[in-house]
Structure 1
Amino acid sequence: MITALFAVVGTLLGAVTTALLQQRGARAERRAAHADLDRRERIAAVAALVAALADHRRTMWLRESLRLAGAPAAEYEAARADSHGTRSAISAPLVTVEILTPSLATAASAATQAVYALRGATDRHELDQRRAAAIEAADDLIRAAACTT
């Protein structure tokens, strides 16, 4: 009788142990899947911001080149309108990066400000220097994101 009791207790303990281990493994899998999803969201946010910065950098360079060259007003105004659209396209991805990855907020802000700085260059050489600085700031953001994500 005692042997049978030990057998039943042992079977029950084995079943409980197995259930606990399975539950623990399932939780670990869910955590890993959640972490992977978070990582993909952060990468997508940085990619969207970098793309928006590149679009704005291109339109601002064109706009300022036209201004410096003394282009016709209609041509400049069209480029100016384009630059307003690309500037506003920066806001959402910038906020997303700052919320999802606060450690990238400084690099994201610096990259954004570097692109905004293309405005008002005094000559073509300065415009090209500001463009190069904006490209470097975006590259810095990408490098920082690679270390974070």
Structure 2
Amino acid sequence: MIIALFAVAGTLLGAVTTALLQQHGARAERRAAHADLDRRERIAAVAALVAALADHRRAMWMRESLRLSGAPAVEYDTARADSHGTRSAISAPLVTVEILAPALATAAGTATTAVYALRGAIDQHDLDRLRAAAIAATGDLVRAAACTT
């Protein structure tokens, strides 16, 4: 009789242990899947911001180059309108990065500020220097993201 009780208790204990291990494994799988999804979202947010910064950097370089060269007003106005569109396209990805990856907020802000700084360059040499600084700041953002994702 005691042997039968031990056998039943052992069976029950084995079933409970198995259920607990399965539950733990399922939780670990969910955590890993969630972490992978978070990582992908952060990478996508940084990629969208980097693309928006590159578009605005190009538009601002063109706009300021036209201004500095004394290009016709119609060309400058077209470039100016283009730069307004690319600047507004930065807002959403910047906010997304700041929310999803707060550790990257400073690098993202620095890269954005560097791109905005192209406005009002004093000459072509200054414009080229500001462009190079903006490219470097964007590279710093990408490297920071690589270290945190």
Q: TM-score w.r.t. structure 1 length?
A: 0.99
- Equivalent residue letter for 1:40: R
The count of aligned residue pairs is 149
In the other structure, the counterpart of 1:139 is 139
SS in 1 for 2:120: coil
In the other structure, the counterpart of 1:43 is 43
Question: Which whole-Å deviations, capped at 9, do the CAs of 1:68-90 have from their partners, x for residues lacking one?
Answer: 01000011000000000000000
Instruction: Report % sequence identity.
Output: 85
SS in 2 for 1:29: helix
Report deviation, 1:134.
0.2
Instruction: Give unpaired runs (5+ residues) of structure 1.
Output: none
Question: Which whole-Å deviations, capped at 9, do the CAs of 1:16-60 have from their partners, x for residues lacking one?
Answer: 000000000000000000000000000000000000000000000
SS in 2 for 1:141: helix
- Equivalent residue letter for 2:61: W
Provide the rounded CA distance (Å) in 2 between the counterparts of 1:107 and 1:143: 10
In the other structure, the counterpart of 1:3 is 3
Q: TM-score w.r.t. structure 2 length?
A: 0.99
Provide the rounded CA distance (Å) in 2 between the counterparts of 1:5 and 1:148: 55
- Equivalent residue letter for 2:62: L
Provide the rounded CA distance (Å) in 2 between the counterparts of 1:68 and 1:108: 28
In the other structure, the counterpart of 1:113 is 113
In the other structure, the counterpart of 1:58 is 58
Provide the rounded CA distance (Å) in 2 between the counterparts of 1:145 and 1:45: 10
In the other structure, the counterpart of 1:68 is 68
Report deviation, 1:4.
1.1
Provide the rounded CA distance (Å) in 1 between the counterparts of 2:87 and 2:80: 10
Q: Which stretches of structure 1, 4 residues or longer, exceed 2 Å deviation after superposition?
A: none
Question: Which whole-Å deviations, capped at 9, do the CAs of 1:57-114 have from their partners, x for residues lacking one?
Answer: 0000000000001000011000000000000000000000001111110100000000
- Equivalent residue letter for 1:86: T
- Equivalent residue letter for 2:44: A
In the other structure, the counterpart of 1:125 is 125
In the other structure, the counterpart of 1:93 is 93
Instruction: Give unpaired runs (5+ residues) of structure 2.
Output: none
Provide the rounded CA distance (Å) in 2 between the counterparts of 1:33 and 1:56: 35
In the other structure, the counterpart of 1:103 is 103
